[in-house]
Amino acid sequence: MAVISSGFGGRRGASDTRLPPGQTLVDDWPVLTAGLTPDIGAHEWTFTITTETGAQHRWDWNALQDVGVEDIVTDIHCVTHWSKLDMAWRGVSLDRLFENVETSYDYVMVRSHGGYTTNLPLEDLLEGQAWIATEAEGEPLTDEHGGPARLLVPHLYFWKSAKWVREIRMMPSDEPGFWEQNGYHLRGDPWREERYW
């Protein structure tokens, strides 16, 4: 039987009706990590979409900017219970990046510098639901938050928004990425509280 520490409440934030179940608001932006922070400069960064035929669609930093960077305002929800509302981001829509990609596969594995992976159904990346993000809160993405670019998929728990993104690889079935292999839900919808297996 645990000893109750009188007066201890933890650092839990406020609640809000716009929050999914089990989430609280925070003022800061916590950094969670599973490994060393990669040191990738924009000048050396590339992003690749690889299909089942081995075809590679690649963008370097300038090419990404040329596709068209848009402003996004969105809420983000971390599986560790914190959320931020109305966060300002800038990024390139995956719809634009997938325009000329031919694939019959329905799932993707997102791969990051440093080895992190996360899986998603392709349909969760399209229809205005996902971006390759380069700025957050008015500033270029810092190293610790995934700079120079990360995936942004705000309708799913934020572990799906892979930092230091470098490749999206098409796959025929939904195979688990890093956290999904270690107890976290394959899809991670915060509104259905899909946190764990």
Partner 1 sequence: MTSPLRASWHVGRVARRRRETASAVRLELDVPTWPGNHAGSHLDVRLTASDGYQATRSYSVASSGETTRVILAVDELPTGEVSPYLVHQLAEGDELEVHGPLGRYFVWIPSESERSPVQLIAGGSGVVPLFAMAAAREHEADHAEFRLLYSVRTPQDVFFAKELSALSKTTVDIVYTRRSPPQSPRPPGRLTRESVAGFVFPSSVAPRIFVCGPTPFVETVAGWLVQLGHDPAQIRTERFGGSG
Partner 2 sequence: MTHLDGNALAGLFADTLGIEITAAVGRCGSCHRNFELARAHAFVTAIGAVLRCAHCQDTLVVIVQKPHEVLVNLSGLAHLAMARP
Which residues bind to partner 2, rule: CB under 8 A?
30-37, 78-81, 114-115, 144, 159, 179, 181-184, 195-196
Does the protein bind partner 1 through residue 21 (CB under 8 A)?
Answer: no
In degrees, rounded to 5, the angle at the alpha carbon of residue 160 between the alpha carbons of residues 157 and 163 is 125
In degrees, rounded to 5, the angle at the alpha carbon of residue 177 between the alpha carbons of residues 173 and 183 is 110
DSSP readout, 101-149?
------EEEEEETTS-EEEEEGGGTSSS--EEEEEETTEEPPGGGTTT-
Q: Considering only residues 14, 17, 21, 28, which one is a binding residue for partner 1 as defined by CB under 8 A?
A: 28
Does the protein bind partner 1 through residue 36 (CB under 8 A)?
Answer: no
114 touches 86 (CB < 8 A): no
Does the protein bind partner 1 through residue 138 (CB under 8 A)?
Answer: no
DSSP state of 65: H
Binding region for partner 1 (CB under 8 A) out of 7-15, 53-61, 149-157, 176-184: 7-15
Q: Which is nearer to partner 1, 31 or 55 (CB)?
A: 31
The CA-based diameter of the chain, rounded to the nearest angstrom, is 61
Q: Compute, in degrees rounded to 10, the torsion defined by CA atoms 111, 54, 47, 95.
A: -100
Q: Which is nearer to partner 2, 11 or 43 (CB)?
A: 11
Q: Which is nearer to partner 1, 3 or 43 (CB)?
A: 3
**Distance from chain centroid for Cα 80:** 14
Q: Which is nearer to partner 1, 11 or 43 (CB)?
A: 11
> How far does the chain reach from its first CA to its final CA, in angstroms?
27
Q: Which is nearer to partner 2, 34 or 73 (CB)?
A: 34
59 touches 97 (CB < 8 A): yes
Binding region for partner 1 (CB under 8 A) out of 9-17, 87-95, 107-115, 182-190: 9-17
Q: From the CB of 82, what's the least distance to partner 2, in Å?
A: 9
For residue 168, the partner it binds in partner 1, partner 2, none, with Cβ less than 5 to 8 A by kind, is: none
Site residues (CB under 8 A) for partner 1, limited to 53-82: none
Q: Give contact residues for partner 1 (rule: CB under 8 A).
A: 2-12, 28
